[in-house]
Amino acid sequence: MRKFLAVAALVAALFSAVPADAQFKFGLKGGLNITDMSFNSDVFESSNRTGFFIGPTVKFSLPLVGLGVDASALYDQREAKVKGVGKKIKQQAINIPINLRYDIGLGSLAAIYLAAGPQFGFNVGDKHETIVDNVSSWKFNSSNFSVNLGAGVMLLSHLQVGFNYNIACGKTGEVSFLQTAGDIAEGVYRGRANTWQVSAAYYF
C-alpha cells in the first residue's frame, strides 16, 4: 500500500509541475499482452500466452515542441503456460506506466510518437498458485518494476494505436520445488516476465 501511495504522489507531483500552456487530454486505453516468461533454469520453461489490459489514461503535451508525458492506471491480466505440466500461471495487477513521449506531426490528420518510461505494478490477484500438488508452487511478487519502450500513431488527435515492449527489472515471481521432479532438482527458480503489447486509446 505504501508503494502504491508513493507512486500516486509521484504522478500527482509530475502533473502539478506541468506548464500552464500544456495541453491535457483524458481517455480510455486497452489492449492485448503476449507474455514471455523466462526462468533461471534451462530445464523449466513456459510458453507464451495472451492477456489483456484496460483502464483510464491521461497525457499532456507542450505546444510546438512535441514533447509530452502520458500516464495510465491499467487493470492487467497476464498468463504463462508451464511446459511439461500444462499448468497456467495467471497474474492480475494494477499497472501504472509513466512515459515520456515525443510526437512527430504528419499534418493535421496524424502524428507518429515514440515513448519510453518506467512502469510500477501492484499484484491484486492470488499471490500463490499450486503447479503440481505437494511438488511445486508459484509465488508472485507483491509489486514489480519494469521499463516500457514503445511507438505508435495518433489519428485525428483522438485515436491512438501503439506497440510496446515491457521489460521486467528483476524477478516477477519464483517457483519452488519441494522435491525432485524429473530433470528438475529441488529448489527455488526465479521467473521474469517480459511482455509485448498492442494497444488502442481514445482521448476525449
The per-residue pLDDT for range 52-94, each reduced to its tens digit, is 999 999 998 876 778 999 999 999 998 877 665 667 778 899 9
Coil, helix or strand at residue 71: strand
Question: Phi, psi at residue 186, to the nearest 5°?
Answer: -60, 140
d(CA 101, CA 111): 12
Q: What is the largest CA-CA distance in the chain?
A: 63
The average confidence (pLDDT) of the chain is 81
d(CA 129, CA 138): 5
d(CA 22, CA 68): 9
Indicate which CATH number applies to the domain containing 195.
2.40.160.20
Which residue, chain included where needed, has cell 510500477? 120
2 pLDDT tier (thresholds 50, 70, 90): low
Residue 133, pLDDT > 90, answer: no
Q: pLDDT tens digits, residue range 137-150?
A: 778 888 999 999 99
Q: pLDDT tens digits, residue range 109-131?
A: 899 999 999 999 999 988 877 77
CA quadruple 146, 151, 152, 157: dihedral positive or negative?
positive
User: Total domain count for the chain?
Assistant: 1
Task: Give the domain extent around 75.
Answer: 2-203
Q: Are 68 and 60 in contact (CB under 8 A)?
A: yes
108 pLDDT tier (thresholds 50, 70, 90): confident
